[in-house]
C-alpha cells in the first residue's frame, strides 16, 4: 500500500499487476472509517483507518483497463 510513493503497508494484498481480464476490484468504507479493498469479492483487510465518514474517494488503477462498471 502506497501513498504519494511512500510505503504505508507491506504485503497488504496481492499485486494489482496479477489482475487479468474478468477480475473485479472494489473499495469499501466501513462504519468505523476503515478503508477496505476487495479483489474478486474477497476483502483484503483494512488498508487505512480513521477516514472521514463523509467525503469523496478518488482511486486510480494504473495500467491497461478495457472495461469498467460503476456500481
* Span 14-42, average pLDDT: 85
What pTM was estimated for this model as a whole? 0.65
Q: Which of 2-11, 26-35, 45-54, 62-71 has the lowest mean pLDDT?
A: 62-71
CA distance 60 to 58: 7
pLDDT one-digit tens code per residue, 37-62: 888 999 998 988 888 877 666 666 66
**What sign does the dihedral 12-28-16-39 (CA atoms) show?**
positive
For residue 1, the SS3 value is coil
Amino acid at each position: 500500500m502506497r501513498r504519494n510513493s511512500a510505503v504505508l503497508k507491506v504485503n497488504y494484498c496481492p499485486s494489482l499487476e496479477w489482475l487479468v481480464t474478468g477480475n473485479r476490484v472494489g473499495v469499501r468504507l466501513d462504519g468505523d472509517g476503515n478503508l477496505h479493498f476487495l479483489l474478486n469479492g474477497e476483502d483484503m483487510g483494512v488498508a487505512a483507518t480513521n477516514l472521514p465518514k463523509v467525503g469523496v474517494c478518488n482511486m486510480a488503477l494504473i495500467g491497461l483497463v478495457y472495461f469498467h462498471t460503476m456500481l
